Amino acid sequence: MSIDYYQAKDHAPLPPKNADVLTTACDYCIVACGYKVYRWPVAAKDGGMKAADNAFGVDFPGNMLQEWVAPTQHNICTYKGKKHNIVVIPDKDTNFVNTNGDSSIRGGLLAQKSYSADTKTKDRLKTPLVRINGVLTPMSWDDAIEIAAEVGKHVLKKHGEAAYGIKTFSYQYIENTYAVTKYALRHINTPNFTFHDTPAYVTSTPGFRDSGFDNFGPSYDDWGSAETLMICGTDPYETKTVLFTQHIMPGIANGMKVICLNPRETAGIAYINKMGGLHIDINPGSDNLVLGAITRVIMQNGWEDSDWIKKWVNNKWESNSGCGQGTRNTPWQWRTTWGKFQTKGYEDYKKWNLKQAEYDPKSAAEKASIDVKKIYQAAEWLAKPVNGKRPKTSIGIEKGFYWSNNTGNTNAISSLATICGAGGRPGQVLGRFGGHQRGGQKGGGYPRNKSAQKVPGRRRQALDTDRWLYSGHTRFAHVIGTTWIQSMPGSQGLAAKFEELVVKNPHQVKSNNKAEIIATLKKRADSGGMVVINQDIYLRDPIGAKFADVVFPAATWGEVDFMRANGERRLRLYQAFSDAPGEAKPDWEIISLLARKMGFDGFDWKNSNEVAEEASRFSRKGRKAFHMVKVAAHIEGKTLHQKMREMGTDGIQGPTMYNYKTGMLYGSKRLHDTTVGEKQFTAMGLSNGPVKENRYGKKMTHFNSQTGKINLQKHPWSLFGDLWEWLSPKKDELWMSNGRVNEVWQSGFDDVERRDYISQRWPGNWVEIHPEDAKKRGIESADMVMMYSDRVPVFKDTILGVHAKDFQFSELMKNGHIKLDKASISAIAIVTPTTKEGVMYANFLDMKQPNNSLTIRVPDNVSGNYNYKMGVGKVKKIGESEFKKDFRAMSFAPRNIT
Amino acid sequence: MSELKTTDKDQSALAHAKCILNRRKFLMYSGGIAAAASTVSITLFDGTAQAEIRKANVQGYPRKLIAKLSELKDHQPVNFNYPDDGKNSQAMIVKMGNVQAGGGVGSQRDVVAFSYICTHQGGPLQSTYKHVADQRVMGQCPLHLSTYDLRRHGIIVSGQAYQSLPQLLLEVEGDDVYAVGIMGLLFGRQDNLIA
Ligand code: SF4
Ligand code: FES
């Protein structure tokens, strides 16, 4: 392994008094900590050690928690063509989110993200590129756009909208996602569209949606003000760090009890356990069983929150009205056609739960391989009244949970939460903790009726873009800011398909003549092959490096003003502070060039603010509605971005309201807040209902169903159980799950690939193996191992479901729709008790060795989402890594030492 | 825990630079025999960068007697200040029970020295030294739980810090252990040397 070792520096400059100070927020995880950027010309003098001589007003050496610049928080970038010092450190003055000016290692190193010709960011894409004779060759914007547009138009005309596939990030700023979705959904109008983390345009948490819960209703305060907090499928310390350190940790210090449902014990969970928490260390995919059992114990003891249930749970007639739009044609209704989920209310649910053999605590504990006592203990903590008082309970979930048994788990947790009275009161909430930030703003509706895919029942299902591509229907793949291939399960098979459709097709560009290029690419599409265009900040392998025919360089964080919200719907302006490399442009501008060339109207924005202002109207129904900020801005004679800039790192929580009389803007602390009273309405000037452009939707004080109450749903294990049993490790197989570590954010293009300190910490692909499993296989820490399987199930066909069970795994298997792939990847072994015996836990997104190769490519049979966390494999030693003898890089110390 | 506070100002590291540099290469990056042979190619001390690195890590640093090998007891850190007695100079030296470490001195290469100040936001790491099987760490930091690997030059195990825990360069003369430099910037300072 070749590693560029981090060179520890023992100096960092302090910003001078007169440095420019700009606010932004972190580019990485959902928490979106507030940051300050200090900028001063390299020619100017640095700040001095005296408080009067530096921008912080702090005497150096400083004290604990005071401003400080680590060497890794300084960079030299160009601004308006001139070299400037840039220091990016957490904002010590912010009133929310990262109170105390806290930050994680990821955000802490943000300064290194910015483009500088002298650092590893020097390979940022700078000009459009077109592949000629297999080589990506620089080309002018005009020509590159014309090539993409001409081929795109041709594909649309000749092969139809569904042949134009678009795979895009869902989060990389409101201006960009608005432009992309306006283009894709309103103008191209293709059903062959989805976001970076799903095969199809589907919800991440079907159970939340169908029960009536928003994913991001809670405020960060709620996670620390519960008395019992249940955390499912994540260690927030690892993946939304400051939410843990600034909100959950203080809660624990105040006596909050925490229950973790997770096969692994990482640093945060170890801390929770040390503080007396309860760790339910389940087998992957067995959450549903354990939750069903906990709920049963609560109901059998009569610990349910009857007042809450009486007031807020739909009865038979109410639940018949589903989630709105009448009783028939709603997503909820079509999914529940056979009464699989719908109940007539609490008693009906209880009856159902008690009848399911698998929710007997003993049986659930056995399958999950946990101590059954933990089920009873959890039930007590969640719901048992103490001295006549119910505990205030909150529940947060994330991907380890909802990407294991997507529908079953999210249904089960919604029911458990509702029975405990969690969901609509301060400190009593249900929500996602979140992964990436929330920068999505839809500019068009998904054309569901054009999808070729249908589950049994009335409605069409969003098209599975991977399966569609597998079957050769995608002729033009437009990929925006995602690797697509590595981030989907069964990656090695998907890569082979790309290779076949793109590289092995006989129609390859051999000339630099524009007309010839266009003609060749049209022929490729017509011959059954595929043309790929790619917008990104770096050339990603293989999507850009091997497959793209046209590549457009994108500008990103810190280079253009953008807006985005976090996991409590807090909107901020992420300010530009340095130049984008070369001719790179923001994605909205690339889309606008392309759209105009395609002949579409309404894409001639002049700057980022204009895009945001156009988008605001479409945000009004959403959880981060920012329209009223624009209204306020215009009344004050400002632009939307200007107004957002004034709000700095505090920003404002969507949905936003505006009091036309007092000129005050209001954010919304939480959604579904059943405690909001007259006082707040009066303050907002809304005591007689919404005024002018204000919208005050049902979700503010009620739930997202027709009646505004919760649908208490069944969560049958049987929908998933056949797959789980089939998948469960046989003989010497182990479960294979995967996820992230604290030090690395998502795909790693910034950190593992371009920050020497992080590459030194994580120099290669890795896998955690429990000491008992390792011993049996003769594996030690720092050995190189191979993980392999010949049982990677791949659902390969686009089918129209007719019978109720058509999409059930065992039926798919019987009818020949499942193909068993082989895959193998190598990794450095970390032998550690942090992972459960029988479970391997691997890096989720090593670009060269995607662990997703071994995860199941069988979407959830109801939601259409992938269960990325599920896989099995064998493991064997293939040698030793250099880290066995060399102490410079990596670490094998367990993450659960407290 | 005992405190040793002898600073031998006359024997500055600079005066010893010539003879110690080769030794230091070996001391800091001893990764067993294989790695010792490859130390030459390490960015930190290779070719032309050497002079600058030497400046950064050694030049100007005091050579300070901090412990006697024979008096160090397994897993019992000894506290001292370095490079001065100013803010954020608290550090410790520890013998890690015959487990070899990068930068370790002594016959077992198990004696290392580190700053006590968490490089995230200055949290105090006093009393967080831990040994579990063959792993040696400092942490979790009481503020935000950062943990550092003492066998691997203070690299972050898990947590928030923006760089490794600063490791102190050590030299041994007979039974005496001297601190002669620091790898990385101490929290709260813009330069380690602020005399
Ligand atoms: S916790 Fe998340 S938002 Fe905050 S600094 Fe870390 S990565 Fe950025
Ligand atoms: S100060 Fe040590 S982890 Fe924050």
| pLDDT tens-digit map of A794-831 | 888 877 777 778 889 999 999 999 999 898 999 999 99
DSSP reduced 3-state for A14: strand
Interchain contact A604–B (C-beta under 8 A)? no
Give the E-state strand segments of A710-777 in sequence order.
Answer: 734-739, 766-769
Q: Do A108 and B136 touch (CB under 8 A)?
A: no
Higher pLDDT, A748 or A238: A238
Residue with tokens 């345009």: A201
The confidence score (pLDDT) of residue B38 equals 23
A238 lies in some domain: yes
Question: Which residue CA neighbors atom 2 of ligand 1 most closely?
Answer: A29
Distance, CA of A762 to CA of A127 (rounded, Å): 31
User: Could you tell me how many helices (H) and strands (E) chain A has, helices first?
Assistant: 31, 29
Does residue B14 carry a pLDDT above 60? Answer: no
pLDDT > 50? residue B92: yes
Q: Is residue A676 part of a domain?
A: no
A893 within some domain:
no
Mean pLDDT score, A35-51: 97
CB-CB neighbours of A472 under 10 Å: 13
CATH of the domain at A456: 3.40.50.740
- Give the active site residues of B: 120, 144
pLDDT at B2 (0 to 100): 37
Confidence of residue B33 (pLDDT cuts 50, 70, 90): very low
Q: pLDDT at position B189, please?
A: 96
The pLDDT, as a whole number, for residue A699 is 94
Does A296 share its domain with A420?
Answer: yes
Cβ distance of B158 and A14 shorter than 8 Å: no
Same domain, A500 and A523: yes
pLDDT given for residue A355 in this prediction: 98
| pLDDT given for residue A409 in this prediction | 98
Pick from A486-490, A531-535, A600-604: least confident: A486-490
Ligand 1 centroid–CA A105 distance in Å is 8
Q: What residues of chain A, 9 to 28, have a C-beta less than 8 Å from chain B?
A: 9-14
For residue A22, give Cα distances in angstroms to A33, A556, A875: 14, 16, 50
The CATH number linked to A408 is 3.40.228.10
Question: Quick one: which atom of ligand 2 is closest to the CA of B142?
Answer: 2
Give dist(CA A108, CA A102) in Å, integer: 9
Residue A336 lies in a domain: yes
Question: What percent helix, strand, coil does chain B show, rounded to 5?
Answer: 20, 30, 50
In the predicted structure, residue A325 carries a pLDDT above the cut 50: no
Query: What's the one-letter identity of residue A535?
Result: Q
Task: Measure A67 CA to ligand 2 centroid, in angstroms.
Answer: 13
Q: Is residue A631 part of a domain?
A: no
Q: Are A861 and A747 within one domain? A: yes
Distance between CA atoms of residues A593 and A579, nearest Å: 21
Euclidean distance between CA atoms A97 and A33, whole angstroms: 6
Say whether residue A703 is in contact with chain B using an 8 A CB cutoff: no
The mean-pLDDT minimum among A453-467, A645-659, A773-787, A812-826 falls in A453-467
Q: Mean pLDDT over all residues of chain A?
A: 94
Q: Whose C-alpha lies nearest to ligand 2, atom 3?
A: B144
Strand partners, A397: A232, A432
Nearest CA to ligand 1 atom 5: A107
A530: pLDDT strictly greater than 70: yes
Least confident of A48-57, A394-403, A454-463, B133-142: A454-463
The whole-number pLDDT of residue B25 equals: 42
Do residues A726 and A866 share a domain? yes
* A193 vs A678 pLDDT, higher one: A193
DSSP symbol at A53: G
Mean pLDDT of A868-896: 93
The answer, for A668 touching chain B at a CB cutoff of 8 Å, is no
Instruction: State pLDDT tens for residues A152-163.
Output: 999 999 999 999
Same domain, yes or no, for A252 and A374?
yes
Last residue of a domain, one of A562, A595, A613: A562
Q: How far is the CA of A534 from the centre of ligand 1 (A)?
A: 28
**pLDDT above 90 coverage of chain A, percent:** 82
**A252/B contact by beta carbon, under 8 A:** no
- Whether the CA torsion B8, B10, B11, B13 is positive or negative: it is positive
> By the 8 A CB rule, do A430 and A424 touch?
no
Chain B hits for A886, CB-CB cut-off 8 Å, are 31-32, 34-35
* Cα A214 to Cα A438: distance, rounded to the nearest angstrom: 13
Q: Check residue A331 and give its pLDDT.
A: 56
Q: Which helix (H) or strand (E) holds B78?
A: strand B78-81
Here the CATH number for the domain that contains residue A48 is 2.60.40.4210
For residues A227 and A144, membership in a common domain is answered with no
| Boundary of a domain, candidates A562, A585, A601 | A562
What's the average model confidence in pLDDT over A299-316?
Answer: 96
Name the nearest CA neighbour of A805 among A473, A131, A337, A211. Answer: A337
Residues A331 and A467 in one domain: no
Per residue in A579-588, pLDDT (tens digit) is 999 999 999 9
Domain span including residue A133: 129-203+439-562
* C-alpha to C-alpha distance for A17 and B71, rounded to whole angstroms: 49
Pairing of strands A657-659, A664-666: antiparallel
* A496, A528, A562 - which closes a domain: A562
Mean pLDDT score, A18-34: 97
Q: Please tell me which residue, A461 or A729, carries the higher pLDDT value.
A: A729
Judge if the upstream peptide bond of residue A586 is cis by omega within 30 degrees of 0: no
A892 within domain boundaries: no
Q: Does B131 have pLDDT greater than 90?
A: yes
A363 and A238 within one domain: yes
**pLDDT tens-digit readout, A229-238:** 999 999 999 9
Indicate whether A171 and A233 sit together in one domain: no
User: Is a pLDDT exceeding 80 seen at residue B69?
Assistant: yes
- What mean pLDDT comes out for the span A514-525? 98
Q: Are residues A167 and A307 in the same domain?
A: no
- Report the residue among A97, A98, A433 best suited for mutation to probe ligand 1: largest number of ligand atoms under 8 A from its CB: A98
Average pLDDT over residues A346-361: 98
Domain membership flag for residue A842: yes
Residue percentage of chain A with pLDDT more than 70: 97
Residues A219, A229: Cα–Cα separation, whole Å: 14
Task: Check residue A800 and give its pLDDT.
Answer: 75
Q: Which of B168, B72, B45 is nearest to B114 (CA)?
A: B168
Residues facing residue A533 across a β-bridge? A478, A550
Are residues A153 and A87 located together in one domain of the fold?
no
How far is it, in rounded angstroms, from Cα A31 to Cα A241?
Answer: 8
Asked if pLDDT for residue B21 goes beyond 60, the answer is no
Whole-number Å distance between alpha carbons of A402 and A232: 9
Domain membership flag for residue A696:
no
Say how many domains are in chain A. Answer: 4
Lowest mean pLDDT among A49-63, A297-311, A319-333, B28-42: B28-42
Average pLDDT for A628-641 = 98
Query: Domain with A757 in it: what CATH number?
Result: 2.40.40.20
| Average pLDDT score over residue span A532-540 | 97
Q: Does A65 touch chain B (CB under 8 A)?
A: yes
Q: What is the pLDDT of residues B98-116, one digit of tens each?
A: 999 999 999 999 999 999 9
Same domain, residue pair A381 and A285: yes
Return the bridge partners of B152, or none.
none
Q: pLDDT for A464-499, tens place per residue?
A: 999 999 999 999 999 999 999 988 776 778 899 999
Q: Which residue of B has its CA nearest to A244?
A: B144
Is the pLDDT confidence value at A182 over 50?
yes
Per-residue pLDDT band at A693 (split at 50, 70, 90): very high
The answer on pLDDT for B32 being more than 70 is: no
Residue range B26-31: mean pLDDT, rounded: 38
pLDDT of residue B22: 37
- Say yes or no to pLDDT of B20 above 50: no
